[in-house]
Amino acid sequence: MPERTSVALTVNGQRREAYVEPRRSLADFLRYEIGLTGTHVGCEHGVCGACTVLVEGRTVRSCLLFAVQMNGQDVLTVEGLAPAPDALHPLQQAFHEHHALQCGFCTPGMLLTALELLQDNPAPTEDEVRRGLAGNLCMCTGYVNIVRAVLAAAAAGTVA
């Protein structure tokens, strides 16, 4: 059995350290080592987008990264989106107002994907939003309201 290796990274602004097996994915590291269960694990092969988090400001599939690769890196999960414990991020607020979540399983990945999308393109067309979210699957098929929410957040101009 390979040795456990130490990994030290920043998650939502907090420094985190743990000893992990090299095969521990970043997604499982977030959920099991540091208890941040907002990152959801769906397909575990990069297709569903549920485990999307930001590493150094860019979206990644956290099921396709190993935690040991993240030494010194800066990770943002859905838990780090809101500005305060009793407040919502503008994207979360827009999802709330437009009923953009049903079961909620895809929501963290949708939010973080939408965040990068709006940072890259603050005023996307509906088509660009649909393309931008195409790598995130909603098994409730609630795409219409998700697209509406992202467009509303973009129009409000409070995200990027």
Partner 1 sequence: MKPAAFDYLAPREVSDALALLAAYGSEAKVLAGGQSLVPLMNFRLARPAYLVDINRVDALAGIDGRPGQVSIGAIARQRDAAIHALVKEQLPMLAEAIGYIGHVGIQNRGTVCGSLAHADPAAELPVVALALDATVHLQRTGSERSVPAEQFFSGYLTTVLEPDELLIATSFCVPPAGTGWGFTEIARRHGDFALVAVATLLRLDAAGRVASARVALGGVGPVPIRARATEHILVGELPGDDLFRAAAATVGTEIEPTDDIHASSDYRRHLAGVLVRRALTTARSRCAASANA
Contact residues for partner 1, defined by CB under 8 A: 1-2, 5, 21-23, 25, 28, 44-46, 49, 52, 58-61, 63-66, 68-69, 113, 116-117, 131-132, 134-136
Pairing of strands 52-55, 5-11: unpaired
Radius of gyration of the chain (CA): 16
* Non-local CB neighbours of 112 within 8 Å, separated by 6+ positions: 52, 53, 54, 59, 76, 77, 78, 81
Nearer to partner 1, 61 or 148 (CB): 61
Nearer to partner 1, 22 or 157 (CB): 22
Minimum CB separation from partner 1 for residue 134, in Å? 4
List, in sequence order, every residue forming a beta bridge with 6; answer none if it has no partner. 19
Minimum CB separation from partner 1 for residue 40, in Å? 14
Minimum CB separation from partner 1 for residue 71, in Å? 8
Are 87 and 26 a contacting pair, CB within 8 Å? no
Minimum CB separation from partner 1 for residue 114, in Å? 11
Q: What is the sign of the dihedral through the CA atoms of 44, 48, 119 and 96?
A: negative
Nearer to partner 1, 34 or 48 (CB): 48
